């Protein structure tokens, strides 16, 4: 049944009312905002309005600033400067400026960069040799003219959505620090990746997404994060967490930047029909994806749905089949145990205990249990294909909470694991589906960042990106 807001908003109001009588805090300080995005900056380089050498020096300065503390594991200063200088020479000679125009892009410390070690944000791999060649995704960025700025910090081996790293320190959340004095989590696992973009050190960040690791930090920092269909971007040269679920992608400042990075990383031309929202049928999944929201997320989602509806989109309630047992972390545990078991035997004392605990759970998963997971997943995906057949895209909150304070999560294991599960709950559905999803900001200036997730089945990347451009435009009217 078609409706404008209907019971989707009612469900949000009921969820917010349960045990949540406190009103959200008002903030008078504006959010950290960027003056422009990568698309504009690349155009400025091409037109001679921006010098790539000057831009890379500004990026390096930002990367070394207090706002970026703990965001980088290592900087590639000479590589970055050389890339910017090469683009400057190309333009001076009248040649075609590459698409990324010698501008800074950060790389999550899971992806090989030739001549640099790849350590996964861990002490356990610090003695390893440097990479002999670039990861496939890194190679594509370099070929497109990116100035690779450095390896960014992350949850050790990408195994958490919170973003805490006890080895290299946990980066702060630049977007929330502009609003209050409470240190809050950056989100993970691509914590440093998002911080590098939030602070202006990088115009975009290469990261991975196994259960939301691009979209969670993007949502909590007011950025755009895109997880494409898994096979759209190659993962060769990237430390795996779960080969069944891992996806490579980018965090950016705008949806059009996401389109640009997806074209580079997927090595394809993205053809967008630019359909207006009035031509779209949008599903609003009910049930668990709308549960346990804090008031800030609930209010932001209600406003977003109202804006999308006012622009003419047809909203439909969806009641989707539950993923059941496949949502209990079995793939990540079993597959990470396969990769890490020898490293744990050699250097288990060097692992984050919380990460090691989750990996070791895979030891108890039998081959029969693992094959059962794959069979259950295939059956669930088939049921989801039928359930999503009538809509162009789905809308859900990326995560149901704003960035929580950091200190209690560092101290309290029970709180940490409960918060981690809540952060992963919504975005991980898309990984289990092998779908595609885009998180974009839905908060107003002065509010803690919240993310709206547009998602659909695998192979629908262009439809999701196209809808993302239209929704992004509609939500600008919220500011």
Active site residues: 108, 189, 213
Rounding to the nearest 10 degrees, give the CA dihedral for residues 139, 143, 147, 152: -20
Which residue, 444, 477, 388, 462, is CA-closest to 226? 462
On whether the CB atoms of residues 147 and 56 are closer than 8 A, the answer is: yes
| Whether 167 contacts 352, CB under 8 Å | yes
367-387 and 330-347 helices cross at what angle (nearest 10)? 140
Cis peptide bond upstream of 189, omega within 30: yes
Find the helix packing angle between 52-63 and 77-92, rounded to 10°: 160
Q: Which residues contact 240 (CB under 8 A, 6 or more apart)?
A: 246, 335, 336, 339
Reading the block at residue 398, the tokens are: 């990326």
Take residue 279 and report the two structure tokens written for it.
């031509």
Angle at alpha carbon of residue 313, lines to 307 and 314, rounded to 5°: 125
Burial (CB count within 10 angstroms: exposed 0-12, middle 13-18, buried 19+), residue 360 = middle
The DSSP bridge partners found for residue 208 are 248
Closest CA to 285 of 444, 437, 448, 460: 437
Give backbone dihedrals phi and psi of 169, rounded to 5 degrees, phi first.
Answer: 90, 155
| CA 414-26-215 angle, 5° bins | 50
Phi, psi of 238 (to 5 degrees): -120, 130
């Amino acid at each position: 049944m078609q409706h404008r807001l209907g019971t989707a908003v009612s469900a949000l109001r009921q969820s917010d009312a349960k045990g949540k009588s406190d009103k959200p805090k008002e903030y008078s300080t504006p959010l950290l905002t960027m003056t422009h995005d990568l698309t504009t900056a690349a155009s400025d380089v091409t037109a001679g309005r921006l010098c790539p050498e000057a831009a890379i020096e500004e990026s390096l300065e930002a990367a070394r600033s207090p706002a970026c503390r703990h965001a980088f594991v290592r900087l590639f200063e000479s590589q970055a400067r050389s890339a910017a200088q090469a683009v400057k020479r190309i333009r001076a000679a009248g040649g075609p400026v590459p698409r990324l125009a010698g501008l800074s892009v950060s790389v999550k410390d899971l992806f090989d960069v030739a001549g640099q070690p790849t350590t996964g944000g861990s002490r356990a791999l610090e003695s390893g040799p440097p990479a002999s060649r670039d990861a496939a995704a890194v190679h594509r960025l370099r070929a497109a003219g990116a100035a690779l700025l450095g390896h960014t910090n992350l949850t050790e081996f990408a195994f958490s959505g919170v973003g805490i790293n006890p080895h290299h320190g946990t980066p702060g959340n630049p977007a929330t620090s502009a609003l209050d004095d409470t240190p809050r989590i950056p989100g993970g696992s691509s914590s440093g990746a998002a911080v590098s973009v939030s602070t202006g050190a990088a115009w975009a960040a290469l990261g991975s997404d196994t259960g939301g690791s691009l979209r969670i930090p993007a949502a909590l920092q007011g950025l755009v994060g895109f997880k494409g269909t898994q096979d759209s971007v190659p993962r060769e040269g990237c430390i795996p967490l779960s080969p069944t679920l891992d996806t490579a992608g980018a965090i950016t400042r705008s949806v059009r930047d996401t389109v640009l990075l997806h074209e580079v990383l997927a090595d394809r031309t993205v053809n967008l029909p630019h359909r207006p929202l009035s031509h779209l049928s949008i599903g609003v999944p009910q049930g668990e994806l709308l549960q346990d929201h804090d008031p800030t997320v609930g209010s932001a989602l209600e406003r977003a749905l109202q804006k999308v509806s006012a622009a003419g989109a047809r909203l439909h309630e969806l009641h989707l089949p539950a993923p059941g047992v496949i949502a209990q972390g079995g793939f990540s545990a079993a597959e990470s145990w396969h990769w890490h078991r020898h490293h744990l035997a050699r250097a288990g004392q060097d692992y984050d205990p919380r990460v090691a605990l989750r990996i070791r759970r895979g030891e108890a998963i039998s081959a029969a249990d693992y094959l059962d997971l794959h069979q259950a997943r295939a059956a669930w995906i088939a049921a989801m294909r039928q359930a999503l057949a009538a809509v162009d895209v789905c809308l859900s909150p990326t995560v149901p909470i704003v960035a929580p304070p950091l200190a209690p999560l560092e101290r309290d294991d029970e709180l940490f694991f409960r918060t981690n599960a809540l952060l992963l709950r919504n975005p991980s559905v898309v990984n289990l589906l092998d779908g595609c999803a885009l998180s974009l900001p839905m908060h107003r200036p002065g509010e803690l960042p919240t993310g709206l997730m547009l998602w659909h089945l695998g192979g629908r990347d262009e439809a999701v990106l196209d809808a993302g451009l239209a929704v992004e435009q509609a939500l600008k009217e919220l500011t």
